[in-house]
Chains A and B, each alone.
Chain A
Amino acid sequence: MHRALIAGIAIAILCSVVGLFLVLRRYSLFGDAIAHSSFGGVAVGLLAGVYPLWTAYVVSIVSALVITRVKDRFNISGDASIAVLLSSGIAVGLVIIGLSGGFTLDIFSFLFGSILLVSVDDVVLILALTGGILIVVLLLFRELLYSTFNEEQAKVSGIPVEKINYLVVFMAGLTVVTSIQLVGVLLISALFVIPNVSAIMYGKGFKQTAIISISFSIFSVVAGILVSYIFDITPAGTIVLISIGLLAGTMGIKSTGLLSKN
């Protein structure tokens, strides 16, 4: 239970920070696509007899970088490239499972997460990744924000925009595969997107928006884990429902004008 909470909080922070850049780049569903391609990665791992999480990292990140390259090279739109990535990951997984005569993948925990079963090793990995990615984000804050705000102007200011784009994709890949343990493949977008959509309505400046998003995200995850523990249900659904509740609340408050911007 403690382990679940610690891992959950770390993942909440990670998803909201990385997700904010994706949402603002109109790349909201990219997390979803990476999550689906990790299905192919897991299948490769099971087939090769390697710990599936590692192959999921490699396959997801490599295919996300490749699709980004292809998208830029051939001028494919963002949403179409997401669709390609998403379906090809699933397809690879299905074919491999078919060829190997099927194996026992714990489909349920892969699809919906299994945060309550997280091991000490997993927690250490999650904390290390969270720390690493946050440090990178802080160090390259101006570059990340500027190239997200306006690519052309960032280029004119001498920022290596293409490299920064790949960095965002790389961080998204790491984050998604790590977070699958918490909410599973199907609901990963929720953690990436919902707290950020709420926060963008409240926050004025960028840092304020990021802090609000992180707070919403942590609140949803902690409350979700506790509630699901009490009622003995899967945490993923509860977490997402709570964050949707926060979003609905935000919209309610906004439309009544209580939160008028000056």
Chain B
Amino acid sequence: MLKAVEIKNLSVKYPDVKALDDVSFEVNEGDFLGIIGPNGAGKSTLFASMLNLYTDYEGTIKFFGQDIRKSKHYLKQIGYVPQKPIFEKNFPVTVKDVVRMGLQSESDADRIDEILQQLWIHELGNRRIGELSGGQQQRVFIAKALVHKPKLLILDEPVTGIDQQSIELFYSILRELNSKQNITIIWSSHDLDAVNKLANHVACLNRTLFFHGESEDFFSNDDLVKQYSEASMQEHMHHH
């Protein structure tokens, strides 16, 4: 089986904290990997290292066998939905303009309507991005991440602040992308139930990787689930 991602001995030290410590795991092509871990566990840092946003990491990251330090071409085969997409509220671009940014070449312009249709936002195509609700914007950014038909989709906690109905729709879209179009998905989430339902692999991260494997093995192991819940609870209490 092809390995979509291989991460070996990845460590990231920020000036004040060590965010990732010797993390190693692999993702096969076609996998749906859920990454769980409390706030500050290093999930976004892991993604930043994979996505050319943070380059001072130690260790190696390979994408389909290629070390990502050697060439930036791999980025063209990745779709990324950030934790919170930041942009100027009155930036004069329509939904279609935003999705078009994800396209590598103008000749694929038909893909824009296709993907808007697929995400049920085609009627929003000519609206300004800043006028949309948070959930609608989220779907636009997912459309942008998918418009160039990536092999790997990376989603960083993409459902914060979205209503239950939209979340269900979003999950069914993810499931379809993964099973019908064979897109590999790496997805970080705080929603254990959703990870249980959707992902076939789970990685449990809290600076170090303390579990990685089939999701059944994780969710059938009460100790592991309890450990994870406690870790998040502690984090939760720190914040309050």
Contacts and interface: CB of A to CB of B under 8 A. Distances in A.
Nearest to B50: A156
A51 interface: no
Interface string A132-170: 000000000010011001101111111000000000000
Interface in B46-100: 51-53, 72-73, 75-76, 78, 80, 82, 85-88, 90-94, 96-98, 100
Contacts of B102: 157
Interface centre among B97, B127, B131 (most CB of A within 10 A): B97
Interface in A24-43: 24, 26
A160 to B, nearest CB: 9
B128 interface: yes
What range describes how many residues of A lie at the interface? 20 to 34
B160 interface: no
The DSSP consensus for interface residues of chain A is helix
B82 A205 contact: no
Interface residues of B, number: 30
Contact of A24 (B51, B91, B96, B131): B91
7 contacts: A24-B88, A142-B100, A145-B97, A149-B91, A156-B53, A157-B102, A200-B92
A117 B94 CA distance: 43
Given A149-B101, A204-B94, A156 B80 contact: yes
Contact of A149 (B52, B53, B87, B126): B87
A103 interface: no
Nearest to B81: A153
Nearest to B96: A205
A152 B94 contact: no
A203 B101 contact: no
Contacts of B93: 145, 149, 205-206
A150 B87 contact: yes
A155 B73 CA distance: 12
A73 interface: no
Nearest to A26: B88
A158 B72 CA distance: 6
B128 A152 contact: no
A204 B80 CA distance: 25
A217 to B, nearest CB: 16
Interface string B109-139: 0000000000000000011100100000000
A2 interface: no
